[in-house]
Structure 1
Amino acid sequence: MSLADFVRGLPKAELHMHIEGSLEPELMFALAARNRIDLPFKSVEAVRAAYAFSNLQDFLDIYYQGAQVLQTEADFQDLAMAYFRRLAADGGVHAEMFFDPQTHTDRGLPFSVAINGLLAGMAQAERELGVTSKLILCYLRHLDEDAAFATLKAAEPWLDRIAGVGLDSSEVGHPPSKFARVFEASRAAGLKLVAHAGEEGPPAYVWEALDLLKVDRIDHGNRSLEDARLTERLVAEGMTLTVCPLSNLKLCVVDDLAAHPLKRMLDLGLKATVNSDDPAYFGGYLLDNYLRTAEAVGLTRAELVTLAKNSFAGSFLDDADKAARIAQIDAYAAAN
């Protein structure tokens, strides 16, 4: 069995994927036509040519522009299903996906449009593809904490269908401490907590996410390795890192995939996982991230199995579901 076939068949969860970042140019154009929206691009090829980012902000500028085509619940449902079909084809069986309500409410769309459309897509994916999922509401860190509180308030009717909250968008200059109070309120509302930290921001941001936000897992976390004491703490606490290799390459967090720290993370005992982040923009869905990184840094089959197990161990599934999924991985690895 080839490595590609082995990894495709390996049951996997994806814990770091922004649903708006799965908007492929073809769907962007289809939704623009459906909603009579003029795009600043003349073709799918022109959109792809614009995906030459040198940093996180370059990407975010076009990411927010692309989101303008999402106008109706049907648009969000179609977006979700397009992603879930790709995930299922890659052997993914569970996803915990981010969405950015402020990206939509700030342009006049009701909160209900985005979340109802996504929930419909999640239900359809479980029904038709057997893919389970959870939803994580992200606060945009370039906005203020009052805006995040307003978003939490708007989400109240759906809190029983939202698994957690996260923190994304421009990292540098917007430390986790800026959102300590809204994260405390989110925890009090029964939500799990995650935060982007240590992607472009320094190790100090990871410390803040742990100590001030009291997160349940760290999104990215690459720069944690610059601080030995922080790394030791993450290992000791079994903190899950949702690592996104092709995103790191595309946004120049690493200059070469062969220099990616994923293998070192595993060697150090960190609970790293593999994820696609914004796959339409960064050139690879879940399977691509596994395979290209495995080739670049020399991951063994045993390490790939560990990454898949970590994806369930670090998920927000209940303990029985986690155990069942990990047992499936053991059975698969033993048979292959």
Structure 2
Amino acid sequence: MTDSLALAEFAYGLPKAELHLHLEGTLEPELKFELAARNGIELAEKTFEEVKATYNFTDLTSFLAVYYPAMQVLQTADDFHDLAWAYLLRAKEQGVVHAEMFFDPQAHTSRGVPFENVITGYHRAAVRAGDELGISAELILCFLRDFSAEDAAATLESALPYKDWIIGVGLDSDERDNPPSKFSEVFARARAEGFRLTMHCDIDQVGSIDNIRAVLTDIRVERIDHGTNIVEDPELVAIAKERGLGFTCCPVSNSFVTEQMKADEIVSLLRAGLRVMINSDDPAYFGAYVGDNYVALAEQAGLSETDLVQFAINSFEASWLTPEQKAAFVERVGEYAGSRGVALPV
């Protein structure tokens, strides 16, 4: 077995949490065709190859232009269950033992799908994952930042009857002209209702560092999704490290919307002791699930198995598990590394 094959085998088997995963971004072409047939929807694409040919992205905007129309095949609670379940089966194969999964209810309610269909389907899959796969799974409701703050507030109200099924709230979609401050009131309300807080600060956006500053100092989230532009401001890096803030990095998706996967930034933050971790973002569109992302970054940056262990430890420490659950999962990581003769991070 070559060193690269040994590294890949280690990466896939490594127990890990995935904290940056959009369920709608796991819609593989096969399931898209299946759901379209189930719901009597005629797709413009007729073959697997035609669907894949649409996955031609140069930036965040061009990605979203393909991403949202694909969701029309999601209609019933069973559809949402089947989507999440298909992801969780793949996640199991890639070493995921805990997942905190994003979902975008406004992308569905805005086209007439009841909120209840979305949340009940996803919740059923999350419960089933614990029972059948040994994966603890939670849901994070994301507001779409290119919708109004009022629509976000209404979505939060719709979620309150299901708050025991939703661990936190996030913010995603097109960042242009949609700064964090636009949603400060709804995030304050979500915090008061007991939800955990995270926000996307996408890479290389106009005003990226200003948005990161606002997320850190004004909204005061617990995690930042993407966020590697923080390296531009050492003061913010110091604040994030002091607070133990998590950064949910997605190397392969980075390489689709910018010139490279931000390996230098991710590794520099890792070496500086920040809680950066590796995730898959929208794996059906970017062709890489979380274990694949571990391997891609390791190969690009020349990382060791011990580095991958640190990413896995960070993924649990930045999660919204209880301290006892975090400690148990970190112990599993250590046991796995020890069984493979891999040194633990110092």
Same fold (TM over 0.5): yes
Partner Cα distance (2:204, 2:267) in 1: 20
User: 3-state SS of the aligned residue for 1:41?
Assistant: coil
Counterpart amino acid of 2:285?
Answer: Y
How many positions carry a matched residue from both structures?
334
Q: Equivalences for 1:109-124 in 2 at 5 Å?
A: 109-124=113-128
Superposed displacement of residue 126, structure 1: 1.4
Q: In angstroms, what is the RMSD of aligned CA positions?
A: 1.1
Q: Which residue number corresponds to residue 250 of structure 2?
A: 244
Match among 169, 172, 177 for residue 176 of structure 2: 172
Q: Equivalences for 1:1-336 in 2 at 5 Å?
A: 2-201=6-205, 202-252=208-258, 255-257=259-261, 259-336=263-340
Share of identical aligned residues, percent? 47
Structure 1 unaligned spans of 5+: none
Structure 2 length as normaliser, TM-score?
0.94
Higher mean alpha-carbon deviation, 22-31 vs 229-238, is at: 229-238
Superposed displacement of residue 259, structure 1: 4.8
Deviations 1:181-221 (A, max 9, x none): 00000000000000001423311101111122110111001
Deviant stretches of 4+, over 4 Å: none
Kept in 2: contact 1:198–1:205 (CA 8 A): no
Partner Cα distance (2:69, 2:115) in 1: 18
Partner Cα distance (1:207, 1:164) in 2: 21
Summarize the Cα distance change of 1:205–1:258 in structure 2 as closer, same or farther, 3 Å threshold: closer
Partner Cα distance (2:71, 2:129) in 1: 22
Structure 2 unaligned spans of 5+: 341-346
Deviations 1:271-327 (A, max 9, x none): 100000000001100010000110001111111100000000000110100000001
User: 3-state SS of the aligned residue for 1:167?
Assistant: strand
Kept in 1: contact 2:253–2:261 (CA 8 A): no
Structure 1 length as normaliser, TM-score?
0.97
Partner Cα distance (1:249, 1:293) in 2: 11
Kept in 2: contact 1:21–1:278 (CA 8 A): yes
